Amino acid sequence: MEYYEISIYNVDAYLSSLSLFSMEKADIVIVSKKEKTMILYKDKQDIGTYPVVFGANNLSGHKQQEGDKRTPEGFYTLDYKKQDSAFHKAIHISYPNAKDIETAHKLGVSPGSAIMIHGQKNGFGWASFIMQFFNWTNGCISDMDLIWNAIDAGTPIEIRP
């Protein structure tokens, strides 16, 4: 099983902790690969905009198969949270959907799986901000505590080119 990610800029831990409990819950998440942003919406209002980074092939189209280092595009669901990730928390994206599976089947390949929103790889400490200047992931979405608290399992996500 492959593991792809899209990464979010880390925010100062102290500032993050101030609003952890007052953050509204998003009812949809919109990711723009071109703009490198993730926007959380509640009742069509932006409740949080975050810069993100992707894998090496993030602008080369929709994910086609396992190992292509692309990030999927389309409509999915954030279906579960993973506290014990190798990265600082992870939220699973329901890729592949039925269309992705059908396309991969026609191509005779595996569509891949394990697409996540997640924080940085554990263990970087004070140097973690440096990683955000590079497309260091293999293709999902990195997150942090604010996003973790603003998203519940079942929240829809749209990943745009």
Please report which confidence band the pLDDT of residue 158 belongs to, taking 50, 70 and 90 as the band edges: very high
Catalytic residue among 62, 88, 105, 118: 118
Average pLDDT over residues 40-65: 86
Catalytic residue among 62, 88, 92, 140: 140
Q: Is the pLDDT reported for residue 152 higher than 60?
A: yes
Please report which confidence band the pLDDT of residue 142 belongs to, taking 50, 70 and 90 as the band edges: very low
Q: Which domains does the chain possess?
A: 4-160 (2.40.440.10)
Are the C-beta atoms of 145 and 89 separated by less than 8 Å? yes
Are the C-beta atoms of 8 and 38 separated by less than 8 Å? yes
Mean of the per-residue pLDDT values of the chain: 78
Report pLDDT for 155: 98
Please report which confidence band the pLDDT of residue 54 belongs to, taking 50, 70 and 90 as the band edges: confident
Q: Is the pLDDT reported for residue 17 higher than 50?
A: no
Are the C-beta atoms of 34 and 59 separated by less than 8 Å? yes
Catalytic (active site) residue 118: yes
Report pLDDT for 141: 45
Query: Six-digit token pair at 49?
Result: 């905009």
Q: What is the three-class DSSP state of 55?
A: strand
Q: If you count them, how many residues does the chain have?
A: 161
| DSSP per-residue letters across 114-139 | -EEEE-PBTT-GGGGGGGGGS--BSS
Most confident region among 3-7, 16-20, 102-106 by mean pLDDT: 102-106
Alpha carbons 138 and 20: distance in angstroms, whole number? 29
